[in-house]
């Protein structure tokens, strides 16, 4: 029984890397209204939370979503500063009713902006050695966002447009955001079987 229980636990906890659809994401709260939806993932290190932003018309950006989440009174607050590339969030704070989670600089790294699927945007090209502005470049939309594969955009939150089914994320430094997902029914069944095996072992003693 001990070997069987261990095998069940191991099988349940082995989670292969795969693309996520929006309906697989464990969404903490939803703000906005409309038929289109993007996900904002905030990785606090010890735990990640996903927030949905919905809209119908227009071309909202990641900044639009951030400010909507901040203003929605859902327990998420942002300490941010304006910049040439939109707001820069210095501190993310989320209170889930029991625990307060904080994402902020550790003295070396800062909360960084990531995307997994985005609308097209215009990037500024600079010669950083001379400080000369070289012009603009159009970054095409990426509709392959899956919440698993992330990239760091070349522009800030005010430039990067949301797409239906896309993901924006924030994590500390080079850490890639971890999207929280709803456990699959198979995983839950295996965990239940493993727990039942443990209970039977204890009852038999």
pLDDT at 204: 53
Helix (H) or strand (E) holding 50: strand 48-55
Contacts of 124 (CB under 8 A, 6+ apart): 133, 136, 155
Domains contained in the chain, CATH given: 21-180 (2.170.130.30)
Degrees, nearest 5: CA angle 50-54-60: 100
Q: Is 33 exposed, middle or buried (0-12, 13-18, 19+ CB in 10 A)?
A: exposed
pLDDT at 192: 46
pLDDT at 153: 93
pLDDT at 183: 81
* β-pair partners for 94: 76, 101
Distance CA 141, CA 164 (A): 12
How many residues are recorded in the chain? 205
Q: What is the pLDDT along the chain (205 residues), one digit of tens a residue?
A: 545 444 433 444 444 444 667 789 999 999 999 999 999 999 999 999 999 999 999 999 999 999 999 999 999 999 999 887 789 999 999 999 999 999 999 999 999 999 999 998 888 887 878 888 888 888 899 998 899 999 999 889 999 999 999 999 999 999 999 999 988 664 444 444 444 454 455 555 5
| 33-48 tens-digit pLDDT | 999 999 999 999 999 9
| 166-178 tens-digit pLDDT | 999 999 999 999 9
Distance CA 140, CA 205 (A): 64
Cα–Cα distances in angstroms (integers) from residue 74 to residues 24, 68, 111, in the given order: 21, 10, 20
pLDDT at 122: 85
CB contact burial 72-111 (16+ within 10 A = b; e otherwise)? eebbbebebeeeebbbebeebbbeeeeeebebbeeeeebb
* DSSP character at residue 155: S
pLDDT at 184: 67
pTM over 0.75: yes
Rg (the chain; Cα; Å): 20
């Amino acid at each position: 029984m001990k070997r069987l229980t261990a095998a069940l636990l191991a099988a349940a906890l082995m989670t292969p890397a795969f693309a996520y659809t929006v309906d697989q994401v464990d969404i903490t709260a939803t703000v906005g209204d409309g038929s289109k939806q993007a996900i904002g993932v905030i990785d606090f290190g010890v735990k990640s939370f996903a927030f949905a932003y919905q809209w119908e018309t227009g071309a909202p950006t990641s900044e639009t979503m951030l400010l909507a989440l901040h203003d929605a009174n859902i327990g998420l607050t942002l300490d941010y500063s304006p910049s040439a590339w939109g707001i820069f969030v210095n501190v993310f704070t989320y209170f889930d009713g029991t625990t307060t989670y904080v994402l902020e600089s550790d003295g070396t790294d800062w909360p960084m902006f990531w995307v997994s699927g985005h609308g097209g945007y215009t990037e500024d090209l600079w010669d950083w050695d001379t400080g000369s502005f070289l012009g603009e470049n159009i970054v095409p939309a990426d509709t392959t966002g899956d919440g698993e594969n992330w990239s760091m955009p070349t522009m800030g939150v005010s430039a990067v447009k949301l797409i239906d089914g896309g993901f924006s994320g924030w994590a500390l430094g080079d850490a890639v955001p971890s999207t929280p997902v709803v456990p699959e029914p198979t995983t839950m069944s295996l965990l239940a079987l493993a727990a039942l095996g443990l209970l039977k072992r204890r009852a038999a003693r």
